[in-house]
Every structure is written in structure tokens, then in C-alpha cells.
């Protein structure tokens, strides 16, 4: 099924003869594509803003309002990302809705398009919010996701329950309203129609949405010629059956065909000049992190986060009311809240370029979707991970959940958890997986390295972080290329009562992590330890190979010990 869906933007003028030609062409296309109607967008502020002859064209469009379908543009055709206040954006939309009601234009299509591609992608949250409140928009379209070019890679996504469909380009623009000004002239346009770019665009996309300016429907009426000609050519030279559908139906059909596209992948607006131009002026890519501490959990990530926060040139995100120092953006539902939500944790300051922004979310490490998502937004970021004995990490996670009142952990022994079968109750299986899966270090690191280069990854030995954090942090500074180096030896001191290093305060006292950190747990049962050493044998062996491939000079002692214990067992 191939759908032709053309939109006319009411920002320039048609005369009465142009409207008659529009109606006549629509009627001819309807014999080839049942149910076809041009979908007209309107910006009410510019009604009757032309010459007397052009104003008669406006009147004639409204006299034939029932013969077209309609969608709301913006009242004054201003780009939505220029509105910093969503209230003003809603007021603008409300004026356009009032105009529609006063002139008998339908207001229930559920479809809208933003001027100059603004606000749809990169997402301007105010646009989506205003669309839902004023128009109950359910479908829109853009040429910008993930990028304008190459056109064949345009995709759709869903955000705030609004379906965003990929829009195609037909080769007509505001500067191509006369055939003598068309690059290459009529021969070049016909080439596109008769087997060229436009023809192939329609043939290779089961759903097509085109939008071109009203000026292309007046003047030399190149839009009418182009669409009618390409439809006739397709009917003549292919076996494709063309049909038309309203926007909501198109959206539902698109995501039935491509359900995997519903989840967006937020790219970095600063990597695309077009995206920078249609991005809110109060945003800057200096607000995005330069490195990520990716975990895994129970390896010392909170201690590292605390030590990094002492550094005068390093800043972390604002705390989350739900997950404290962790944003947990790339690996859960927070990702669907969008880039604006994420950047809200990194408020702009005057010295952006000199700061090393970072965030720590320990659940990133083993998240299946995280590396792809993180790389799309932060392709130049550096990654920090902490590794220690996976058996010890699994036991620590189990004890952590017990302390925090997890019912499953308090009802099952550690051995019962790690030996739970796949037929066990789901809560028990979930706890088993959270204990065991993050420790498959090589598997998860390989996933990260399929997106990031080895030069962007720094692996910290968790035992070294605990025993000698000062040298560990100095190595990390060298990796991050932070200058001048910060001397941690005067800011960290070993606290014999806590059993680990703590921050030195101005009063020459130590400020340590809370009671939940550094707890002493009962020793792991020997049978559980032996089982885990066998379970992680292949994973630890793969980790040794990976570390050598990455050029590591030394293998962590805990890894040698785990492998030795397994051989002895």
C-alpha cells in the first residue's frame, strides 16, 4: 500500500483560478487514488492579507472548505521553539482555533505541522504540551528525524502519545515556484517524476507524506503538475495500488508496519546544523555530560561519585527526587520524558566550557538499550566503569536489597536466590537476575564497545578504588585530561572506624558516606561462593581476553583469584 498525502501551507497566496485548478486536479487524482483530498494547513493571522485578487482566492478556499481536509499551523507562523513560555504558545494556537471555528474549518483532524520543522524534532516540549491541550493532536510529521539526509533513513517515533511520522520531500520549495527557476528546468523535474528520486521515494516507502508551500500550487502550479504526473506514472508503469487515508489512520498503520520505531532515540542537536537552528535558544550542548559513570551497582560507584564531586572542575547533575544522585535516564521510563527533562538536571552556568559535567547511574552498565541511546546523544562522552569480583558483587546486591526491606530477599537465602530456576516465581527470578546478570562483565562491555571506541572507556579496579582511591582518582584525571590536576591526597583520608577513605573537611575532620555504605555482612556460604565461581568462569575468562585486547598491562588481583579458586574447585 502506498499513500500520497499532500499538504498545502497557507502562508502565501492563491488566486481564484489557482483554487479552481486545485479542485480540478484533486478531482482527477481521485479517479486514480480513491478518497484523495489535499490537506490544507492554515495560519489565520494572514487571512485576507494579500491583494484584492488574492483575497478572493482565500474566500474561494473557504467556500469549498468541505472539499478539502484541514490542519492547524500556527496563528502567526512563528517557529514554536522561539516560544519560551508555553502559555504564549497555547494562546497563539487558541487564536488559530478560534479563526477555524469562525470560518467553518474543521478542528478535529488530530493532525498538525509545525512551521519550518521547528519543535517536532529536536523536541520542544512546549509544542507537544500545547498541541495536546489546544488541539488534542495525535499525529504530526517531520523531515528531521533523525536527520534530513539521507532521506532513506528518516524514521518515525512516538512522544507524549503523539505519533511522529517521517515526511518525504518532493523537490519543490519556496524558490521553485516557476519552472524556469527549477534547477535543471522541466527535464530535471520530469526525470524525478519518471523513475527518478520522487518516483523512487514513493515506491520504496509504503506510506508517503508530502508537504509543500502554497506558492507551489499557484504561479506555475508545479505542485499540481508534479503530484498528478507522478501518480499517473506509477499507475502506468507499476502494479502498485495507491490509496489515501486520514492522518490518524496513517499513523496507526505506520506503527503497525514499524512497531520498533515507536521508541525514540534522542540525538545530539549540536551534531546537526539544521537541528541547532530549530533548537531552543536557552539550551546549549555544554549542558550535556562529558563523561558517564555507568556502574555496575555495588562496585563503589557512589564513593566514586562523591570523590569526583570534590573536584573543583567537575560537576554532577542536580539530584533526582526519586533516584537521588542518579538520573537513570538512558535505561528506563525516564528516557521517554525527553531531552528537555534530562537537560533540566544540568542547569546552565557562565563557565560551561570549563566544567566537566558528569552523571552516575549504576544501572546503565548492563542495560541492553543504554549504549545505543547514550551514544546517540553523547557520542564523544567518556565512560567510567568499576569492576570487582562478580561473586562478591552479587552477594553485596542481595544483602543491599535485604537491608532495604525487599520481601523476596528477606524470605529466601542467597543460595536459594542464585539457584532459582526459570519456573520460579517472577519476583524471585527478577532478584536472581539482578544479582547475577550485571556480573557478566565482558558481555556488557562488548555491547558498549560496539558504540564507543576503546579510547573512550576507562575501567577502574574496584579493589584499588577502595584501597588506594587517591592514585585511582589521579589516573582517572589523566584519562579525562583534566588540567590542572587536583591533588586528592589533601582531600581524602583513611577512616579506621569506617574502614575506607573519606573526605577531609575544612575542620580537618572526615566526612564519610552514610551508614548504608561499607556495611559488614555475614560471610557468603562456601557452597554459594563455589557455585558462583563456576557460574562466572566463562565470563571471567572472556574478561581477561577483553582486557588484554584493550591493552591492559595488569589483570586485577580479584580476577586472578576468582579464576584460581575456580581451577582449584
Using alpha carbons only, how large is the chain's radius of gyration in Å? 30
Within 10 angstroms of residue 319's Cβ, the number of other Cβ atoms is 12
Active site residue 560: no
CA-closest candidate to residue 112, choices 84, 85, 87, 141: 141
5 in a labelled binding site:
no
What angle (nearest 5°) sits at the alpha carbon of residue 149, between those of residues 148 and 151? 90
For 213, phi and psi rounded to 5 degrees? -75, 155
Q: Which three cell numbers stand for residue 333?
A: 521510563
277 in a labelled binding site:
no
Within 10 angstroms of residue 564's Cβ, the number of other Cβ atoms is 11
Q: Would you say 8 and 221 are in contact if contact means Cβ atoms under 8 Å apart?
A: no
Contacts by 449-456, CB closer than 8 A, 24 or more apart: 450/371, 451/371, 451/372, 451/374, 451/375, 452/371, 452/375, 452/381, 452/383, 454/550, 454/551, 456/380, 456/381, 456/382, 456/383
Buried b (16+ CB within 10 A) or exposed e, 222-248: bbbbbbbbbbebbeeeeeeebebbbbe
Name the active-site residue from 298, 360, 382, 440. Answer: 298
Place of cell 495507491: 242
Q: Dihedral of CA 189/192/195/198: which sign? A: negative
d(CA 272, CA 148): 9
367 in a labelled binding site:
no
Q: What are the distances in angstroms from CA 86 to CA 3, 42, 135, 309?
A: 34, 21, 14, 35
Buried b (16+ CB within 10 A) or exposed e, 534-554: ebbbebbebbbebbeeeeeee
In terms of DSSP bridges, do strands 139-142 and 500-504 run parallel, antiparallel, or are they unpaired?
A: unpaired
Q: Would you say 373 and 294 are in contact if contact means Cβ atoms under 8 Å apart?
A: no
Q: Would you say 460 and 386 are in contact if contact means Cβ atoms under 8 Å apart?
A: yes
521 in a labelled binding site:
yes
**Residues 6+ away with beta carbon under 8 Å from 32:** 231, 232, 235, 242
Q: Would you say 176 and 182 are in contact if contact means Cβ atoms under 8 Å apart?
A: yes
256 in a labelled binding site:
no
In terms of DSSP bridges, do strands 162-166 and 157-159 run parallel, antiparallel, or are they unpaired?
A: antiparallel
> Edge to edge, what strands does the sheet with 314-316 contain?
314-316, 356-360, 291-295, 382-387, 457-461
Place of cell 549540536: 270
Q: SS3 for 314?
A: strand
519 in a labelled binding site:
yes
> Which residues are part of a known binding site for 3'-phosphoadenylyl sulfate?
396, 517-521
> Which residues are part of a known binding site?
396, 517-521
Residues with catalytic function: 298
Amino acid at each position: 500500500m502506498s499513500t500520497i498525502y499532500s499538504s498545502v501551507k497557507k502562508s502565501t497566496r492563491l488566486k481564484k483560478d489557482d483554487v479552481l485548478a486545485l479542485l480540478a486536479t484533486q478531482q482527477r487524482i481521485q479517479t486514480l487514488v480513491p478518497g484523495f483530498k489535499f490537506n490544507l494547513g492554515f495560519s489565520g493571522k494572514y487571512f485576507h492579507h494579500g491583494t484584492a485578487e488574492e483575497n478572493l482566492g482565500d474566500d474561494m478556499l473557504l467556500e469549498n472548505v468541505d472539499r478539502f481536509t484541514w490542519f492547524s499551523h500556527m496563528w502567526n507562523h512563528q517557529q514554536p521553539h522561539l516560544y519560551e513560555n508555553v502559555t504564549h504558545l497555547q494562546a497563539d494556537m487558541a487564536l488559530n482555533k478560534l479563526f477555524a471555528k469562525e470560518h467553518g474549518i474543521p478542528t478535529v483532524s488530530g493532525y498538525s505541522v509545525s512551521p519550518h520543522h521547528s519543535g517536532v524534532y529536536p523536541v520542544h516540549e512546549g509544542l507537544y504540551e500545547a498541541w495536546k491541550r489546544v488541539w488534542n493532536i495525535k499525529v504530526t510529521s517531520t523531515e528531521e528525524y533523525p536527520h534530513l539526509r539521507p532521506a532513506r533513513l528518516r524514521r518515525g517515533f512516538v512522544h507524549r502519545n503523539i505519533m511522529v511520522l517521517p515526511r518525504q520531500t518532493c523537490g519543490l520549495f519556496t524558490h521553485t515556484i516557476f519552472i524556469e527557476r527549477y534547477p535543471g528546468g522541466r527535464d530535471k523535474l520530469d526525470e524525478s517524476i519518471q523513475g527518478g528520486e520522487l518516483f523512487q521515494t514513493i515506491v520504496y516507502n509504503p506510506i508517503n507524506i508530502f508537504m509543500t508551500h502554497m506558492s507551489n500550487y499557484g504561479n506555475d502550479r508545479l505542485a499540481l503538475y508534479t503530484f498528478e504526473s507522478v501518480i499517473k506514472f506509477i499507475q502506468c508503469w507499476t502494479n502498485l495500488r495507491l490509496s489515501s487515508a486520514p492522518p490518524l489512520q496513517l499513523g496507526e498503520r505506520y506503527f503497525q508496519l514499524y512497531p520498533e520505531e515507536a521508541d525514540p532515540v534522542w540525538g545530539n542537536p549540536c551534531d546537526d546544523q539544521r537541528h541547532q537552528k530549530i533548537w531552543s535558544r536557552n539550551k546549549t550542548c555544554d549542558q550535556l555530560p562529558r563523561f558517564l559513570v555507568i556502574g555496575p551497582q555495588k562496585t563503589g560507584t557512589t564513593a566514586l561519585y562523591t570523590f569526583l564531586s570534590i573536584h573543583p572542575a567537575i560537576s554532577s547533575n542536580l539530584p533526582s527526587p526519586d533516584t537521588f544522585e542518579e538520573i537513570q535516564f538512558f535505561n528506563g521510563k525516564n528516557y521517554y520524558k525527553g531531552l528537555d527533562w534530562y537537560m533540566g538536571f544540568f542547569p546552565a552556568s557562565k563557565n560551561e566550557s570549563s566544567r566537566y559535567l558528569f552523571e552516575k547511574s549504576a544501572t546503565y552498565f548492563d542495560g541492553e538499550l543504554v549504549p545505543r541511546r547514550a551514544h546517540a546523544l553523547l557520542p564523544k562522552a567518556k565512560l567510567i566503569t568499576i569492576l570487582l569480583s562478580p561473586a562478591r558483587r552479587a552477594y553485596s546486591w542481595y544483602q543491599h536489597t535485604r537491608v532495604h526491606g525487599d520481601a523476596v530477599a528477606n524470605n529466601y537465602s542467597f543460595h536459594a536466590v542464585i539457584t532459582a530456576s526459570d519456573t520460579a516465581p517472577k519476583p524471585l527470578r527478577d532478584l536472581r537476575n539482578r544479582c547475577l546478570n550485571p556480573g557478566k562483565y565482558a558481555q556488557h562491555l562488548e555491547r558498549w564497545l560496539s558504540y564507543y571506541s576503546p579510547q573512550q572507556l576507562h575501567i577502574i579496579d574496584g579493589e584499588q578504588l577502595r584501597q588506594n582511591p587517591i592514585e585511582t582518582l589521579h589516573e582517572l584525571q589523566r584519562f579525562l585530561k583534566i588540567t590542572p590536576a587536583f591533588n586528592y591526597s589533601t582531600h581524602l583520608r583513611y577512616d579506621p572506624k569506617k574502614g575506607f577513605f573519606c573526605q577531609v573537611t575544612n575542620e580537618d575532620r572526615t566526612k564519610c558516606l552514610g551508614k548504608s555504605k561499607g556495611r559488614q555482612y555475614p560471610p557468603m556460604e562456601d557452597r554459594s561462593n563455589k557455585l558462583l565461581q563456576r557460574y562466572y568462569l566463562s565470563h571471567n575468562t572472556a574478561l581477561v581476553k577483553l582486557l588484554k585486547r584493550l591493552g591492559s598491562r595488569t589483570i586485577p588481583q580479584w580476577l586472578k583469584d576468582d579464576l584460581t579458586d575456580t581451577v582449584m574447585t
